A and B are shown apart, each in its own frame.
Chain A
């Protein structure tokens, strides 16, 4: 048993570090580290840099332009990116729809979409959730009816993350309303510029426009945009859900956030001395650091098991729960660190081009918004309760 990286793994980490030091634009990493809101162009610029290096498509096989990396390499890469303040790659294209296309798509679909995803030519979003289909995703109602060489789509999707920028959406639609719940669903790729599609913003409790509603009104989708067989869309959806989720624990993000929190707490004054010396606050920092050590090792155990050929299945559910709870706890501590200056809310101060005066310390401007925004972590991607159901069924056999 050896918890340290091998010489090759350490060399790979150094290579990634050197690349990040050299190529990660300083203005972007500053925004990430200071929790400023990122624009579409920040994400696209970074994705193009990654693609130039051949490091965008972590999970793809080499022949399609992927890295072909091992689980440990992917893990190292994601941790280093998070710690360096690299923006999150938009997952919907490269990490979600692309693996489905690679696994179930036609040659034409692969030839057309995969290069466009690599070059960030299409901004993808995900059409899964509906107003009546959240955790119970298979109860979705958006209807697609085959008419000649088209499907006609009617219905509504919701919680569509960054759909306001999207060129393409991958959707789960019902093609057979008489079949059993999971069996009448198909996986469709839809051009967002098709007539009949309306995108409406949803503003979240932190004042952010991150998610949207997407309405489909007699939207004509060519049949060649069907991925896999008709009525077998649930297989694609499940494949995507069980797909490797190496970064799900968010250890790198938590490490970076904790380091920043310590920095901030050293500057804040409480009872006439730095907050970081306050025994109560320090105890909570210690608690988070301890939980993070446990999480990191649990994550590494899972990665090592994947490296040895295991398929990370329900174990990722443990990581999702632990990781999201920890990230949420850190946002709570940031709010605590800001004290009364957690209260002022200047939405414009969360943008990088803000040139006004902050109320109180600059770091405090975003802490409460982020705390509220991060409540989403335990809700999305299968709520933490759903993760517990998965563990309960798959691991505990209950």
Chain B
């Protein structure tokens, strides 16, 4: 048992930490939010130069060969800075899916471009009536000569508006919620028949509603074997959950720190409000929720190589805890900041929004409690 980071993990932590502290200021972030694509291409290029875009890829492919713990370290750092760049979409979800399912040729074409920051991808998975169920897919891919024709709608595709390519999960066989029969396709974002309605999300990101109408792709667009995408998809979603939990952990840490600092400074009745026991105990409870999230995130990050059932149980527990504890920390932070917590100009409001809304990415606490319930007997 050892909770210390390895030297390499520590280096990674320092790299991200320095970047976030020194260059990713609140002002820089705000500017990114106002841009059309919703993030900074310069920052993305910096990520590439620092090797961050290669974290989950093998060393042969030019990556860092990182696992759950490495991803956790990076995502925590991003959470501390409320980083809005499309790391989750491009690297964690799509990058690892391509790496897992793609042919040598597909990987050669994409992985170095992802690591180098030249190509950005987005996962078009969930659908308007599917909520968080990743196997409830009605988007169809029908054989068409050598290739396929895709039809369907994809909901709240994070960074889907600016992605160069979409990884579309479509059904090649089976009923609406079958685990079998799901396939992954690479679709150019500007391909004929693809329409994307981009919009901002309340937690500082951008997303798109994507409609696929008779989109024709070649046989080389299919990633992996037809109808066999589910396992790899779930592996990538598992990594995505670790990243989101860790991001929440980092953001919650800053929310706690900023709130603590504020109640030490803010004076009312002639004393700092942090002298009031009613607020002290609430602050302690916030920290306690943070510790829980830190702990269970570590558990999740270190469980990716366990059996799928045990892995999924721990991931579900972690994401459910993040939803429960995150909401508490965010609400308390706003409350302790009082009116200032309500202000757009106060950074804490942005942390609160991201922390609460992480619950709506890759399954909320209700959804994950449900998963945990079904895995209750797994040891």
Given A298-B295, A388-B284, does the pair A396, B260 have CB atoms closer than 8 Å?
A: yes
Main secondary structure of the interface of B (DSSP, over half): helix
A3 contacts B by Cβ under 8 Å: yes
Nearest neighbor of B273 in chain A, beta-carbon distance: A398
A165 contacts B by Cβ under 8 Å: no
Q: Are A293 and B1 in contact (CB under 8 A)?
A: no
Give A110 Cβ to nearest chain B Cβ, in Å: 34
B260 cross-chain contacts in A, Cβ below 8 A: 396, 398
The proximity string for B residues 264-287 relative to A, scoring 1 for CB distances below 8 Å and 0 otherwise, is 100000000011010011011101
B220 contacts A by Cβ under 8 Å: no
Q: Are B5 and A1 in contact (CB under 8 A)?
A: yes
Q: Which of B1, B317, B373 contacts A304 (CB 8 A)?
A: B1
A2 contacts B by Cβ under 8 Å: yes
Q: Give the total of B residues in contact with A, Cβ under 8 Å.
A: 41
B277 cross-chain contacts in A, Cβ below 8 A: 389, 392
Q: Give the total of A residues in contact with B, Cβ under 8 Å.
A: 42
Could you jot down 26 A-B contacts, CB within 8 Å? A1-B2, A2-B1, A3-B1, A3-B298, A4-B302, A6-B1, A282-B376, A286-B320, A286-B372, A286-B373, A287-B369, A289-B372, A290-B324, A293-B299, A293-B314, A297-B298, A298-B292, A298-B294, A300-B3, A300-B295, A385-B281, A389-B280, A396-B280, A397-B264, A398-B263, A398-B274
Q: Which of B1, B69, B281, B317 contacts A388 (CB 8 A)?
A: B281
Q: Are A304 and B2 in contact (CB under 8 A)?
A: yes
B6 cross-chain contacts in A, Cβ below 8 A: 1
Give B268 Cβ to nearest chain A Cβ, in Å: 15
Nearest neighbor of B377 in chain A, beta-carbon distance: A262
B296 contacts A by Cβ under 8 Å: yes
B191 contacts A by Cβ under 8 Å: no
Q: Are B376 and A297 in contact (CB under 8 A)?
A: no
Given A282-B376, A388-B280, A388-B281, does the pair A304, B3 have CB atoms closer than 8 Å?
A: yes
Given A293-B314, A294-B321, A297-B299, does the pair A5, B280 have CB atoms closer than 8 Å?
A: no
Rounded to whole angstroms, the CA-CA distance of A1 and B303 in the bound complex is 12
Nearest neighbor of B3 in chain A, beta-carbon distance: A304
Q: Are B321 and A290 in contact (CB under 8 A)?
A: yes
Q: Are A290 and B320 in contact (CB under 8 A)?
A: yes
Q: Are B9 and A1 in contact (CB under 8 A)?
A: yes
A290 cross-chain contacts in B, Cβ below 8 A: 296, 317, 320-321, 324, 369, 372
Nearest neighbor of B303 in chain A, beta-carbon distance: A3
Q: Which of A1-17 contact B (CB under 8 A)?
A: 1-6, 9
A283 cross-chain contacts in B, Cβ below 8 A: 369, 373
Q: Are B280 and A318 in contact (CB under 8 A)?
A: no
A321 contacts B by Cβ under 8 Å: yes
Nearest neighbor of B279 in chain A, beta-carbon distance: A398
B369 cross-chain contacts in A, Cβ below 8 A: 283, 286-287, 290
A295 contacts B by Cβ under 8 Å: yes
Given A285-B373, A322-B288, A388-B281; 10 other pairs, CB 8 A cutoff = A1-B5, A293-B314, A296-B295, A301-B295, A318-B291, A389-B277, A396-B280, A398-B264, A398-B275, A398-B283
Q: Which of A367-398 contact B (CB under 8 A)?
A: 385, 388-389, 391-392, 395-398
Q: Which of A273-313 contact B (CB under 8 A)?
A: 279, 282-283, 285-287, 289-291, 293-298, 300-301, 303-305, 308
A145 contacts B by Cβ under 8 Å: no
Q: Are A285 and B4 in contact (CB under 8 A)?
A: no
A285 cross-chain contacts in B, Cβ below 8 A: 373, 376
Q: Which of A1, A9, A294, A398 contacts B292 (CB 8 A)?
A: A294
The proximity string for B residues 79-93 relative to A, scoring 1 for CB distances below 8 Å and 0 otherwise, is 000000000000000
Q: Which of B281, B298, B324 contacts A1 (CB 8 A)?
A: B298
A318 cross-chain contacts in B, Cβ below 8 A: 287-288, 291
Rounded to whole angstroms, the CA-CA distance of A295 and B317 in the bound complex is 12
Q: Which of A72, A392, A396 contacts B1 (CB 8 A)?
A: A72
Q: Identify which of B1, B263, B281 gathers the most chain A CB atoms within 10 Å of its CB.
A: B1
Rounded to whole angstroms, the CA-CA distance of A321 and B291 in the bound complex is 12
Give A194 Cβ to nearest chain B Cβ, in Å: 41
Rounded to whole angstroms, the CA-CA distance of A301 and B291 in the bound complex is 10
Give B377 Cβ to nearest chain A Cβ, in Å: 8
B295 cross-chain contacts in A, Cβ below 8 A: 294-298, 300-301
Q: Are A293 and B296 in contact (CB under 8 A)?
A: yes
Given A286-B376, A398-B264, does the pair A392, B5 have CB atoms closer than 8 Å?
A: no
Q: Are A294 and B376 in contact (CB under 8 A)?
A: no
Give A297 Cβ to nearest chain B Cβ, in Å: 3
Give B284 Cβ to nearest chain A Cβ, in Å: 4
Q: Identify which of A283, A294, A392, A396 gathers the most chain B CB atoms within 10 Å of its CB.
A: A294
Q: Identify which of A290, A322, A385, A388 gathers the most chain B CB atoms within 10 Å of its CB.
A: A290
A289 cross-chain contacts in B, Cβ below 8 A: 317, 372, 376
A2 cross-chain contacts in B, Cβ below 8 A: 1-2, 302
Rounded to whole angstroms, the CA-CA distance of A295 and B321 in the bound complex is 11
Give B75 Cβ to nearest chain A Cβ, in Å: 14
Give A397 Cβ to nearest chain B Cβ, in Å: 8
Rounded to whole angstroms, the CA-CA distance of A300 and B369 in the bound complex is 24
Give B76 Cβ to nearest chain A Cβ, in Å: 12
Give A337 Cβ to nearest chain B Cβ, in Å: 15
Give B266 Cβ to nearest chain A Cβ, in Å: 12
Q: Which of B9, B283, B293, B376 contacts A392 (CB 8 A)?
A: B283
Q: Are B284 and A3 in contact (CB under 8 A)?
A: no
Rounded to whole angstroms, the CA-CA distance of A283 and B275 in the bound complex is 38
